[in-house]
């Protein structure tokens, strides 16, 4: 059941020194490609960072988060069409990118991998690292690898706190 993967997922910040098989990387990217997007625009682009020298620079770009450099790959989730605001007032590309990224995150769990969303990174430095075209933005980063830690406990709100019926 998908809920099993959802329950197993946690933010992995320590990785084994073990490469990820290309077959698994391809499955992660396929999971992203299949994601829904507003008006089916699919304006995303996923940059897989494998290069050792580039990976080394990620810790600094991510405000000293060393574990990002230790992951065998990091996927930069990018999107364009940035002025597409939906009727509801929200930026479609940001939401599209986030959904695709979470597809990757959950597929990673099923493949025995772990990842962590990274929002704390300097956009300008990251853009330079991956030669980002001017009309694109990076929505988030996903360092991915084989987990070297087990899931711990975390505080979660109860269903009653976060759900209501018919009226907020």
Ligand X SMILES: Cc1cc2nc3c(=O)[nH]c(=O)nc-3n(C[C@H](O)[C@H](O)[C@H](O)COP(=O)(O)O)c2cc1C
Residues lying near ligand X in the complex (CB under 6 A) are found at 10-11, 13, 65, 116-120, 140, 154
| 97: its two tokens | 């990118």
Nearer residue to ligand X within complex by CB, 117 or 146: 117
Instruction: Please report how close the Cβ of residue 140 comes to ligand X at its closest, in angstroms.
Output: 6
DSSP 8-class letter at 40: G
Cα 16 from chain centre = 19
DSSP 8-class letter at 84: -
Instruction: Please report how close the Cβ of residue 105 comes to ligand X at its closest, in angstroms.
Output: 9
Nearer residue to ligand X within complex by CB, 86 or 120: 120
Nearer residue to ligand X within complex by CB, 140 or 147: 140
Instruction: Please report how close the Cβ of residue 28 comes to ligand X at its closest, in angstroms.
Output: 17
Place of tokens 């946690």: 10
- From residue 65, alpha-carbon distances to 92, 107, 116, 143 in Å are 29, 24, 11, 11
Question: Could you tell me the sign of the dihedral formed by the alpha carbons of 54, 60, 65, 70, in that order?
Answer: positive
Instruction: Please report how close the Cβ of residue 102 comes to ligand X at its closest, in angstroms.
Output: 9
Nearer residue to ligand X within complex by CB, 10 or 146: 10
């Amino acid at each position: 059941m998908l809920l099993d993967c959802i329950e197993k997922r946690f933010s992995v910040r320590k990785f084994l020194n073990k490469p990820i098989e290309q077959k698994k990387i391809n499955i992660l990217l396929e999971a992203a490609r299949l994601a829904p997007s507003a008006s089916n625009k699919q304006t995303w682009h996923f940059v897989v960072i494998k290069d050792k020298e580039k990976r080394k620079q990620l810790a600094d770009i991510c405000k000293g988060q060393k574990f990002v450099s230790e992951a065998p790959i990091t996927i930069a989730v990018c999107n364009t069409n940035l002025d597409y605001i939906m009727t509801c007032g929200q930026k479609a590309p940001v939401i599209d990118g986030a959904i695709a990224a979470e597809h990757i995150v959950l597929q990673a769990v099923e493949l025995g991998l772990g990842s962590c969303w990274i929002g704390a990174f300097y956009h300008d430095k990251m853009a330079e690292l991956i030669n980002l075209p001017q009309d694109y933005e990076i929505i988030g980063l996903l360092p991915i690898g084989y987990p070297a830690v087990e899931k711990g406990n975390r505080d979660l709100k109860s269903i009653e706190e976060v759900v209501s019926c018919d009226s907020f």
